[in-house]
A = this chain, B = another copy of it.
Amino acid sequence: MSATSATVTVALEGDRRYDIAIAAHSLQNLGAKLTEIGLGKKSKKVLIVSNPVIYKHYGETVATTLKNAGFDAISLILPAGERFKTANSLQKIYDAALNHRLERSSVIIALGGGVIGDMSGYAAATWLRGINLIQVPTSLLAMVDSAIGGKTGINHPQGKNLIGAFYQPSLVWVDPQVLQTLPTREFRSAMAEVIKYGIIWDRELFDLLAQCDRLDQLRYLSDDLLHTILYRCAKAKAEVVAKDEKEGDLRAILNYGHTVGHAIESVTNYRLFNHGEAVGLGMIIAGAIAVDMGLWSAAEQAQQVALITKTRLPQTLPADIDQAAIIDCLATDKKVEAGKVRFILPTAIGQVTLSDRVTTELINQNLRKILA
């Protein structure tokens, strides 16, 4: 076990600045940390929101550390899964907040992956117009992505994340140890986002990943490498968010691989690929387009594909996929303004550019190249 620990600060202005603290076996110290950052002075009330699997593994540790630090915590266990990221689950959080009599200075703790994090974050943003929020991400995706940066929300029956708010947590508390129980497919899927940070922001991270023999299971990663991955990804996202909190051009680069990725997820009815798998495919397409447009070298695109392969993420699309539907889907993406699809394209490992000059022809051509 490595004793490594690190802190990344999300440098927003004034009292909206907060830390992402990464340390193995730190879950049991969360209560003391809350006291350290000034919570519990006016109100001792805490609402922990989690799901059954995660709470079974880590609920007691969190409840105990809070109790030891003098907090009055209750837990709300919501059903697991994206299909429960709804107004109905949100209402349950509100009801628990009401019954536990949370005040403005009370705390909501999101103990879980991105689903619990987004939903609890949104509840914290809107209950009494905003109470304190602590993100305790338990999935790799939540640690490197969703718990950081303040996007919170729920789904509308007819679309993902349509309802939400920008609301920053007071702390992101990362204990890499909890990843031991994360299912392998979830691990791999999140590795697509890790590779994403390598391409868009952090060549050193990319190179570190390139040196590994296998990236398809957590057990092939040393504690040190895992720590470094968590640290560098958090740092990348924190830097982007601090410079551009609300989806200007910079923050948009976080959507690398996501434009086509979302279309692939949607056209295959969210059944064939999970999010990270689709993003991996989206990055392969975006990289190929960049090469075709003369923006990126074929050698670096090959390196990107090699990393995706080493993570055992899919590299091909079903031969009978509806390409026309993918193109249609791109055109109606909610990020499209005035009809133009904006692509994020690599120019070098660690660097991307925005382009609205990608032709349908070019997209189709590169989709065809990876049909199984």
Q: Counting chain B CB atoms within 10 Å of each CB, which of A129, A151, A153 scores highest?
A: A129
Indicate if A72 sits at the interface (CB-CB under 8 A): no
Residues in B with CB closer than 8 Å to A165 are 125-126, 129-130, 165
Number of interface residues of A (CB under 8 A): 29
Contact, CB under 8 Å: B163 / A127: yes
Interface residues of A in 312-334 (CB under 8 A from B): 334
Indicate if A338 sits at the interface (CB-CB under 8 A): yes
Residues in B with CB closer than 8 Å to A87 are 87, 91
Residues in B with CB closer than 8 Å to A153 are 126, 129
Indicate if A4 sits at the interface (CB-CB under 8 A): no
State the main secondary structure of chain A at its contact with B: mixed
**Which of A97-105, A182-190, A343-351 is the interface stretch?**
A97-105
Indicate if A177 sits at the interface (CB-CB under 8 A): no
**Which of A107-115, A139-147, A154-162, A279-287 is the interface stretch?**
A154-162
Identical chains bound together, number:
2
Interface residues of A in 13-44 (CB under 8 A from B): 42-43
Docked pose: A104 CA to B334 CA in angstroms: 8
Indicate if A59 sits at the interface (CB-CB under 8 A): no
Q: How far is the CB of A352 from chain B (nearest CB, A)?
A: 22
The residues of A with any CB-CB pair to B shorter than 8 Å are: 42-43, 87, 91, 94, 98, 103-105, 125-130, 151, 153, 156, 158-159, 162-166, 246, 334, 337-338
Closest 10 CB pairs of A and B: A129-B164, A42-B337, A126-B163, A42-B338, A126-B165, A98-B158, A165-B165, A129-B166, A129-B165, A94-B156
